[in-house]
Amino acid sequence: MPRPIVAHIHPDAVRHNLEIVRQKASGSRVWAVVKANAYGHGIERIYPALAAADGIALLDLDEAVRVRELGWKKPVLLLEGVFKPEDVKTAETFGLTVAVHCDEQLELIAAAKPGRSIDINLKMNSGMNRLGFTPEGFRGAWERARATQGVGAITLMSHFANADAHDVDWQLDRFDAATEGIPGERSLSNSAAVLWHERAHRDWVRPGIVLYGGSPSGVARHIADVSLRASMTLSSEIIGVQTMRIGDTVGYARTYTADRSMRIGVVACGYADGYPRHAPSGTPVAVDGVMTRTVGRVSMDMLTVDLTPCPSAGIGSKVELWGDQVKIDDVAEPAGTIGYELMCALARRVPVRVSAAHDDTHAGVAEFAV
Ligand SMILES: *Cc1c(COP(=O)(O)O)cnc(C)c1O
């Protein structure tokens, strides 16, 4: 028998969350963002849930090819565009749409002389200062793109730096001023802007984290009014029980001291499974459906939980590390990170099961992370 830890992936939850996005941005088409192997879920596992999306966005060429091989006929967008001359050939062969954020990428397309034109998302750096042409240089870039042989339809794209803090107007104003009169569709909104900035929705939206039920701000209560569902559940079992007396400590570095007599449970889950080592004592966890908290340091293969609220729990009791009951952001936040990182960091050694429709616990085929 493997250790009792398992991650369940729920395609139904992704389908549901995509529907919520559709309702929020009803006038826009939706790029479902599945970069980083669908935020750690496995593209193939959630692929059937993406049928209602208008396009799939990612940034790894191999992932783009995988999506085509699954049979996806609608657009596929490479969010960082091409890196090398041969990538243009791949884009042409598989009919990929590519971001273009610099002149070097336009030159790669021109040099490849594609037989079939390649649609592009011309990217403006409206303030994020990662990728893109400056607002001042954008019109010139658009004219050069339009004059580049092999470039097809041009969508105008930018990315928000702080949409989860309700801080998009400065970038929107720059984008609108710099694109005034330029034809073409617009694509701006990540998950935060989908939820909170209707003015930014435009022709295409690009949600990622909300498809997986995570909070764009990393704070679970910020999405409490949106009925998203968790698409990943990490669960395990209690494999040991200890009774601590007042003054006893638990785990490495003895960071937790019992202030009363208490039972603790040892859970088969540690940082080598992707659980954050920096989660402090007090991080929420559910045992047999009862909310409780971690105590002491997370170690490589185990962590420890307070069994005071669940006196009947013992060896074999079910533990939810994150999922619908324990919000992934409520685990991430005290550990100084965000749900995005925990999803992406699910370790290869954790067996993964895909839930069948309407069964979120035991159905599905066991397999290992890809
Ligand atoms: C990752 C990414 C998104 C999606 O971001 P979320 O915060 O997960 O919604 C959208 N656009 C671009 C360019 C991205 O890189």
Using one digit for the tens of pLDDT, what is the confidence trace for 334-369?
A: 999 999 999 999 999 999 999 987 544 444 444 544
C-beta of 208 in contact with ligand 1 (< 6 A):
yes
Whose CA is closest to atom 3 on ligand 1? 190
The pLDDT tens digits of the residues spanning 204-250 come to: 999 999 999 999 999 999 999 999 999 999 999 999 999 999 999 99
The alpha carbon of residue 68 and the mean position of all alpha carbons in its chain are separated, in whole angstroms, by 21
**What pLDDT does 358 receive?**
56
Ligand 1 pocket test, candidate residues 29, 30, 206, most atoms within 8 A of CB: 206
Q: Give the DSSP letter of residue 233.
A: E
Collapsing DSSP to helix, strand or coil, 88 comes out as helix
Burial of 214: CB neighbours in 10 Å, binned 0-12, 13-18, 19+: buried
**Nearest alpha carbon, ligand 1 atom 8:** 208
Q: Measured from the CB, is residue 123 less than 6 Å from ligand 1?
A: no
The closest of 263, 253, 276 to 342, measured between CA atoms, is 276
Amino acid letter, 280: P
Euclidean distance between CA atoms 141 and 225, whole angstroms: 41
The number of CA neighbours under 13 Å toward the Cβ of 155 is 23
For ligand 1, the distance from its centroid to the CA atom of residue 365, given in whole angstroms, is: 30
Q: What residues contact 224, with CB distance under 8 A and at least 6 apart?
A: none
In angstroms, rounded to a whole number, what is the distance separating the alpha carbons of residues 15 and 213? 11
pLDDT the model gives residue 360 = 44
This prediction has a pTM of 0.94
Q: What are phi and psi of 259, to 5 degrees?
A: -100, 5
Q: Ligand 1 mean position to 36 CA, how many Å?
A: 11
Task: Please give the C-alpha separations between residue 358 and each of 7, 179, 289, in angstroms, as whole numbers.
Answer: 17, 45, 19
Q: Is 28 exposed, middle or buried (0-12, 13-18, 19+ CB in 10 A)?
A: buried
How far is the C-alpha of 34 from the C-alpha of 40, rounded, in Å?
Answer: 9
The token pair at 31 is 């790029």
Residue 2, pLDDT score: 82
Phi and psi at residue 307, in whole multiples of 5°? Answer: -95, 10
Ligand 1 pocket, 191 CB below 6 A?
yes
Q: Is the CB of 216 under 6 A from ligand 1?
A: yes
* Residue 207 CB–ligand 1 contact under 6 Å: yes
35 annotated active-site: yes
Nearest atom (ligand 1) to Cα of 157: 13
For residue 134, report the distance from its CA to the centre of ligand 1, in Å: 20
- Residue with structure tokens 């022709």? 203
CATH 2.40.37.10 maps onto the chain at 232-367
- Ligand 1 neighbourhood includes 189 CB (under 6 angstroms): no
Q: Which residues of the chain have pLDDT under 50?
A: 359-366, 368-370
Query: Which residue's CA is the nearest one to ligand 1's atom 4?
Result: 208
Cβ atoms of 206 and 187 closer than 8 Å: yes
CA 302, 305, 310 angle in degrees (round to 5)?
135
Q: Which helix (H) or strand (E) holds 308?
A: none
For 26-178, strand residue ranges (E) read 29-33, 55-58, 76-78, 97-100, 118-124, 151-158
Amino acid 77 reads: L
The pLDDT of residue 366: 46
Q: How far is CA 215 from CA 52, 57, 225, 339, in A?
A: 22, 19, 11, 7
Contacts of 104 (CB under 8 A, 6+ apart): none
Q: Where are the alpha helices (DSSP H) in the chain?
A: 11-24, 35-39, 43-46, 61-69, 85-94, 103-112, 135-146, 169-179, 191-196, 328-332, 339-344
Determine the distance separating the centroid of ligand 1 and the alpha carbon of 162, expressed in angstroms: 12
User: Which residues, other chains included, contact 245 with Cβ-Cβ below 8 Å and sequence gap of 6+?
Assistant: 258, 261
Q: What count of residues does the chain have?
A: 370
Domain 232-367 indexed as CATH 3.60.15.10: no
Question: What's domain 11-215's superfamily in CATH?
Answer: Alanine racemase (3.20.20.10)
In the residue annotation, 275 being an active-site residue is answered as no
The angle that helices 135-146 and 169-179 make with each other, rounded to 10 degrees, is: 40
> One of 84, 89, 113, 252 is an active-site residue; which one?
252
- Whole-number Å distance, alpha carbon 285 to ligand 1 midpoint, is 28
Specify the DSSP class assigned to residue 255.
-
Does the CB atom of residue 33 touch ligand 1 within 6 A?
yes
**Which pLDDT score is estimated for 1?**
73
- Phi then psi for 170, rounded to 5 degrees? -65, -40
Would you list which residues are annotated within the binding site for substrate?
130, 300
Give 17: exposed, middle or buried? Use CB within 10 Å, 0-12, 13-18, 19+: buried
Binding-site members are 130, 300
